[in-house]
A and B are shown apart, each in its own frame.
Chain A
Amino acid sequence: MIANPIVHKEVLSSLRTTKAIIIQSLFLLVLAGLVALFWPEDGLQDLGGQQARRVLAVIAIGELLMVAMFAAAFTAASLTVEKEKNTWEVLFATTLKPWQIAVGKITGSLSFLLLLVISGIPALAALFLLGGVRGSELLAVAGVLVLTVLYLGMIGLLVSASMYRSYRAVIFTYAIVLVICFVVAAPAWPVSGNMLSSAGPGMQKVLHVVASVSPLQAMLSVVMPESDYNTVAAGMPPYWQIFIPVSIVAIVVTGVVSLIKLSQPLRTQPARVKGEVVERGQISARTFMFIVDPLKRKKHIRWWQNPMLMKEFRTRPMLQTQWLIRAVGICVIVSILLMLAVAISVHTMVAQSATMIPMMASVVAAMVVVLMLLIGPSLAGGALSADRETGIWDVMRTTRLSSWQIVSGKFLSSVIPLLLFAIATLPALLILLYFNAGLLTNVIRICYVIGMTILFVSTMGMFFSSIFSRTATATAWTYAVVVGIALLALLVLLGRDLFSERVVRTIFLFNPIASSMGAAGHGTMQKYGLVFPHLRLMASITAGMFVVTVARVWKLRRPV
């Protein structure tokens, strides 16, 4: 392997990039920050080692979340970039065997991530100073981290091997990582009303195995075995014990599939060469197969329409009508299923329904906010950089489009679909109103938070897109900040008794998930009174980013 020139080139070039330096620095800074923040002030520990274990939990989970975030950012575009630059075919023209190229790329991409985990070991080792933490526990934490890097990194590489555009690969990988880390584990958490414990014995086992796929759940079972976040099915082994074989199988399978994909010469991107078109008013078999036929001739842009907005809706795959309808349809279906679940639960558990309805409202609100946070960066992250990447930005500069038309068109092209998704999930909230009309104020507040989250995440994507000229970088930064604000900040929940109320509240003020739960009347979050201060804070940040974005676009349009 050492003799493989691709390994040499990949390892060296990945370590030389600015991205590597930034990621490495950011990783160590956050880790050092977490240690400093959660370190007991007197440097001593209680006899039971509870404080040390809590610090271990925060550092281990923080490190895992960062590793998960960077694994996607580092691997998802590693192969698509080669395809975009046409350097992939050049490698195949050498005497290197296809499998050598594939192994070289995989080793190169993963080595940096492993280096990241190794560089975080001193932070974990520092816990020995506090005592109360066993070496075997630290070893288990390091093991889960290494497996997570390989597991998520290989998924990113497989996506990168299968796709042609970097920004799509980044989006797709982040979506998979977020599902694997959070969605599958949610049934074991209080946020889902501990769905796992209330299910039947068979279902419990299924949910337990599904949650074991999540590296986050595996880590929680190592560092917080007694917590509410570690609900287990009766008679099942701890999550980490299932995670180890599951992740190893996943690494091997994704590795083999990636190797097979990479070993084949690049096939040309499927093209729609003929350019078939269905004229307006023409009736054929297709008419009955589509609500909106993608091949139907479109109308000319009207005088009152923003050309930029129309262009965005016509060119970006995720914004095309047929895909929007499908996505909104899925949201409606999920929402209706939630509605049914709520209705059934309320009828079967009448006695508890008084406390259960606000809890359910907070679950629904958090889910909608998470959905916006997941989709938003992918819609807005490439808004401006994609045009700069393809070189069409220069042509756009020679037209009479104003900076405002460009920014508003791009901005609306991410806000409109997010609003549609949010509206599609409303039935789940409306059924709660049916059972408890007193929740009207809460539902209105939830809508405010969701609306603000949509504006915030769209503006942030645009902001990074105006700063970075590469879509993959802009999207990765948007996701990194969103995950940092929305998910890393929730780590405070694990050690909230270490901080003053004021500190916890200040951290939660930035967090749309916490605020949406507070708006829904969730007991813990409501007491912080987050909603309106959160709205004001996010509105200020959003307005600031929007102004900077308009200024950047104005500058980018000017002659240099």
Chain B
Amino acid sequence: MTDSKEVILRCEGLTKVYEEITALDHLDLEITAGKVYGYIGHNGAGKTTTIRILAGLIKSTEGKASVCGVDVGSGRDQIKSMVGYMPDSFGVYDQMRVWEYLDFFGAAFKLSKSKRMDRIDYVLEGTDSEYMRDRFVDTLSHGMKQRIGIARALIHDPTFLVLDEPLSGLDPRARIQMRRLLRRLADEGKTLLVSSHILAELAVVCDDVGIINKGKLEITGPMQEVFDALQKDRLIELKALSGMEKALAVVDKDETTSDIDQSDEKEGVVRFRFAGDDEQLASLFEQVHKAGTKVVTMREVPLDLEQAYMAVSGLASEHVGNV
């Protein structure tokens, strides 16, 4: 078991340029042992480029990355033993059973026969795939293949797993099972970097998260901190039966409010941004009430993860709060 404070992955100024396109722009990232790191970004943001650099498939143009202190560029042979890679597509071999598929990759990692037999049992059990052992890989469903893909990435007992979109294309049930599996792997001491273009998919399973956009890591940190940071400008909705003009006067006067949206005023609803803390918010509620407004509800509109992601990636900032 690795020390939970130990840094497993360290990227410093990692950059990849394809001719005129900067796919990855000075990425600085650290992942500590036993953590699940959610790597979020829309299609083409630079997730797969990062993963392929970490798996030793492509070279970085600048900067460096190390796994357990071993440089990804110069220590390729060591890296192969330490990193388990699962690409976003599952390469199929015709006529090969699941255990034979795992046996081949075990042998390709130079595991002895007895070790391979143990590992095949272990990874099939660990991924709840024991029942697929004798099935042919080309006949498996997408969800099954994703599991076998993870089993294959685990066959040589790597410390660090890089999984490219393991949840994509899965039905809700398979997605829940996959999230449980990822969590279990982290609990068993593995460190995982899991990419997705859907933040909500990873929210329940990740310890840390990073959002990448146009090759730049826009925000990174523990899940809750990132979430809090994303919604520091809280959206408040006020619904009143009468005296809305008095409430608006109070809100407008308050220095912590901004962006007052009166488009639904006829229905007795206004929304505004609020940048203060909970104490200040309670005080504002009190002032509105004292001003003589007949308040039905005054509540904070929860910012969902999709909006947060859209906000940070700058894709639809103009829509935040109006969704």
Cβ contacts A304-343/B at 8 Å (1 or 0 each): 0101101100111100100000000000000000000000
Of the candidates A301, A317, A393, A394, the one whose C-beta lies within 8 Å of that of B107 is A301
Q: Is A401's CB within 8 Å of the partner chain B? A: yes
Contact B55 A272 (CB under 8 A): no
Interface of chain A, helix or strand or loop or mixed? loop
With A302-B113, A303-B113 in contact, is A559–B56 under 8 Å at CB?
Answer: yes
Of the candidates A274, A276, A398, the one whose C-beta lies within 8 Å of that of B80 is A398
Q: Is B57's CB within 8 Å of the partner chain A? A: yes
Residues of the A chain whose Cβ atoms lie less than 8 Å from the Cβ of B87:
391, 394-395
Distance, CA A302 to CA B135, complexed state (A): 22
Residues of the B chain whose Cβ atoms lie less than 8 Å from the Cβ of A395:
85, 87, 91, 105, 152
Q: Is A280's CB within 8 Å of the partner chain B? A: no
**Among the interface residues B80, B83, B152, which one has the most CB atoms of the partner chain A within 10 A?**
B80
Cβ contacts B40-81/A at 8 Å (1 or 0 each): 000000000000110111110000000000000100110011
Q: Is B19's CB within 8 Å of the partner chain A? A: no
Distance, CA A314 to CA B138, complexed state (A): 13
Nearest opposing residue in chain B for A317, CB measure: B95
Distance, CA A305 to CA B112, complexed state (A): 12
Contact B97 A277 (CB under 8 A): yes
Chain A residues 250-296 with CB under 8 Å of chain B are 271-277
Of the candidates B59, B85, B104, the one whose C-beta lies within 8 Å of that of A307 is B104
Of the candidates A276, A315, A401, the one whose C-beta lies within 8 Å of that of B93 is A315
Q: Is B204's CB within 8 Å of the partner chain A? A: no
Cβ of A387 to closest chain B Cβ, rounded Å: 7
Distance, CA A404 to CA B79, complexed state (A): 20
Distance, CA A298 to CA B83, complexed state (A): 29
Contact B57 A303 (CB under 8 A): no
Q: Is B264's CB within 8 Å of the partner chain A? A: no
Contact B94 A398 (CB under 8 A): no
Residues of the A chain whose Cβ atoms lie less than 8 Å from the Cβ of B58:
559-560
Contact A398 B83 (CB under 8 A): yes
Distance, CA A560 to CA B59, complexed state (A): 6
Contact B96 A303 (CB under 8 A): no
Residues of the A chain whose Cβ atoms lie less than 8 Å from the Cβ of B147:
none
Q: Is B92's CB within 8 Å of the partner chain A? A: yes
Q: Is B301's CB within 8 Å of the partner chain A? A: no
Cβ of B188 to closest chain A Cβ, rounded Å: 21
With A390-B91, A391-B91 in contact, is A311–B57 under 8 Å at CB?
Answer: no
Cβ contacts B242-259/A at 8 Å (1 or 0 each): 000000000000000000
Q: Is A300's CB within 8 Å of the partner chain B? A: yes
Contact A400 B113 (CB under 8 A): no
Q: Is A392's CB within 8 Å of the partner chain B? A: yes
Cβ of A4 to closest chain B Cβ, rounded Å: 34
Distance, CA A314 to CA B100, complexed state (A): 9
Q: Is A496's CB within 8 Å of the partner chain B? A: no
Distance, CA A300 to CA B96, complexed state (A): 13
Contact B93 A400 (CB under 8 A): no
Q: Is A396's CB within 8 Å of the partner chain B? A: yes
Cβ of B147 to closest chain A Cβ, rounded Å: 15
Residues of the A chain whose Cβ atoms lie less than 8 Å from the Cβ of B95:
314-317, 320
Contact A271 B93 (CB under 8 A): no
Q: Is B315's CB within 8 Å of the partner chain A? A: no
Residues of the B chain whose Cβ atoms lie less than 8 Å from the Cβ of A348:
none
Contact B139 A400 (CB under 8 A): no
Contact A400 B134 (CB under 8 A): no
Distance, CA A320 to CA B152, complexed state (A): 24
Q: Is B117's CB within 8 Å of the partner chain A? A: yes
Contact A400 B81 (CB under 8 A): yes
Contact A311 B56 (CB under 8 A): no
Contact B93 A399 (CB under 8 A): no
Cβ of B64 to closest chain A Cβ, rounded Å: 13
Distance, CA A397 to CA B132, complexed state (A): 26
Contact B57 A559 (CB under 8 A): yes
Distance, CA A310 to CA B103, complexed state (A): 10
With A314-B95, A315-B95, A391-B91 in contact, is A307–B108 under 8 Å at CB?
Answer: yes
Distance, CA A87 to CA B53, complexed state (A): 32
Cβ contacts B180-220/A at 8 Å (1 or 0 each): 00000000000000000000000000000000000000000
Contact A397 B109 (CB under 8 A): no
Contact B56 A398 (CB under 8 A): yes
Contact A314 B113 (CB under 8 A): no
Of the candidates B83, B89, B134, the one whose C-beta lies within 8 Å of that of A275 is B134
Of the candidates B55, B73, B93, the one whose C-beta lies within 8 Å of that of A398 is B55
Nearest opposing residue in chain B for A298, CB measure: B100
Residues of the B chain whose Cβ atoms lie less than 8 Å from the Cβ of A274:
135
Residues of the A chain whose Cβ atoms lie less than 8 Å from the Cβ of B89:
391
Q: Is B285's CB within 8 Å of the partner chain A? A: no
Q: Is B136's CB within 8 Å of the partner chain A? A: yes
Residues of the A chain whose Cβ atoms lie less than 8 Å from the Cβ of B134:
275-277
Cβ of B11 to closest chain A Cβ, rounded Å: 15
Nearest opposing residue in chain B for A387, CB measure: B91
Cβ contacts B16-59/A at 8 Å (1 or 0 each): 00000000000000000000000000000000000011011111
Contact A398 B57 (CB under 8 A): yes
With A314-B100, A315-B96 in contact, is A300–B117 under 8 Å at CB?
Answer: yes
Nearest opposing residue in chain B for A560, CB measure: B58
Q: A residues touching B (Cβ–Cβ < 8 Å)?
A: 271-277, 298, 300-303, 305, 307-308, 310-311, 314-317, 320, 387, 390-401, 559-560
Closest 7 CB pairs of A and B: A392-B91, A275-B135, A307-B107, A399-B108, A301-B107, A390-B91, A315-B93
Q: B residues touching A (Cβ–Cβ < 8 Å)?
A: 52-53, 55-59, 73, 76-77, 80-81, 83, 85, 87, 89-98, 100, 103-105, 107-110, 112-113, 116-117, 132, 134-136, 138-139, 152
Can you give 18 A-B contacts (C-beta < 8 A)? A271-B136, A275-B132, A277-B134, A314-B95, A314-B96, A316-B95, A387-B91, A391-B89, A392-B91, A394-B52, A394-B55, A394-B57, A394-B87, A394-B91, A395-B87, A397-B57, A398-B55, A398-B80
